[in-house]
Amino acid sequence: MRVGVVQLSSTLETQRNLLVAAEMIAKAATAGARLVVLPEVFNRRGESARVREQAEGLDGPSLLWAAEQARRHGLWLVAGSIAEQAGAAIHNTSCLFSPGGERVAVYRKIHLFDVDIPGAVSRESANVTPGSELVVSQVEGHLLGLTVCYDLRFPELYRRLTLLGARIITVPSAFTERTGRDHWEVLLRARAIENQVFVLAPNQLGTTPGTPSSYGRSMIIDPWGTVLAQAGDSESMIVADLDFARQDEIRLRLPSLQHRRPDLYAWPDPTENR
């Protein structure tokens, strides 16, 4: 299955962002992609303190646009993430759309980006409510697991998605330049290798007001940890072919998932009662 990953440098101007994203989706479709993944906050990036007034519902204009893009090109589309208004709560939400334009899966980011690193200061939890459900969904006969950006640092989530049957995991991101240059590729390849899954990781690029600079270098990685495609330093689209027979061979010849010892891993979390 051919897949496409879109790298954007989204701004505060939603219409501009959607126009660029539409051009990239069309290029991926022309290249034969059956699944395309957009980055985190693809529709609007910046001014995180104003996220509540920027949020949309699941039937808002950005996701209606995404549904139409999937339908127009007859492909599966992971609409990276948007700020979703859900009652009184705001979620960082990723949605999967079918080639018919149906919204078939909704994932609300579980791990929120609260850090205090020079060049990457963020307190996502000040405005966003974490999700509480793991999500996998069928795409072209294979299960796909949904995650978002900071989730990448939590290997337990990726292992659980793998045990639920995921063969592909998406990581739409606005991964910062400050942390990305040291951690982005290492973490992506580790999650692919340890779970023997394909990892599709579109990232934001560059700077916009009110948010840390993003690293770019979007990637498609196979279950051996090989980088099949990597974006450069511009808004762009990359494609690669996912070889599921090769994935089966890797899992057969190096059956690490079968060698797990969950009977020894289930210890109490020593931080729980602190």
**194 catalytic, yes or no?**
no
**95 catalytic, yes or no?**
no
| Contact between 191 and 229 (Cβ < 8 Å) | no
**27 catalytic, yes or no?**
no
Q: What are phi and psi of 169, to 5 degrees?
A: -130, 130
Name the catalytic one among 56, 109, 185, 235.
109
d(CA 3, CA 5): 7
Quote the Cα angle for 226-240-172, to 5°: 80
Name the catalytic one among 84, 149, 177, 235.
149
Own/partner contacts of 27-30, CB < 8 Å, gap of 24 or more, are: 27/237, 28/4, 28/75, 28/237, 28/239, 29/4, 29/73, 29/74, 29/75
Which residue in 131, 27, 38 sits closest to 81, CA to CA? 38
d(CA 229, CA 174): 18
Strands (E), 40-192: 76-86, 89-97, 103-108, 114-117, 120-123, 136-139, 142-146, 168-170
d(CA 149, CA 130): 13
What tokens does 253 get? 């010849």
What are the residue numbers of the active site?
A: 40, 109, 149
